[in-house]
Amino acid sequence: MVYGNGDIYSGSWLSGEKSGKGTYEYSNGDAYIGEWKADLKDGSGIFEMENGDRYEGEWKEGRKYGSGIYYFQNGDVYEGYFIDGQRNGKGIYIWVDKSCYNGDWEKDRMHGKGVYYPKEENGPFLAGYFENDEFVRAEEENPEESIKN
């Protein structure tokens, strides 16, 4: 199916809507290959953007939702969970300089418990709590938990 704006869809249909497996090529150079439901990306799929970014993972009602890997054109990589198209839940982000953050995310930001490792192999790391991409406090050891272990 060729749309008036130059987009092209080839794949399965159900009751006049994209449903099942299909490929959608956008006129701007983006492309989606994967599963559809009720005319929306839904299930597993790969979205390649004209700018060089690429997402491989789960979709729900047209948005990144569930586990996936996002490859940025600059070499950064995020692997983890998404909700409503944003990084949410557990995930690891590795910057092109090899520094990384492994922990909780909320609305595309480091938020909650996590560990940031700098690019230097033996450099100091930050373990504790982050809010809106900022380290706010170190993780406090709970003496009672130490005794139980």
Residues 127-141 pLDDT 10s = 999 999 999 999 775
Regarding whether 3 and 57 lie in a shared domain, the answer is: yes
Is residue 136 domain-resident?
Answer: yes
Nearest residue to 129 (alpha-carbon basis) of 100, 98, 103: 103
Domain that holds residue 135: 86-149
pTM over the 0.85 mark: yes
Last residue of a domain, one of 20, 48, 73: 73
Dihedrals φ, ψ of 142, to 5°? -95, 110
pLDDT at residue 146 in the model: 38
Instruction: Kindly state the average pLDDT of the residues 112-122.
Output: 88
Report the number of distinct structural domains present in the chain. 2
81 domain-assigned:
no
Residue 64, domain member (yes or no): yes
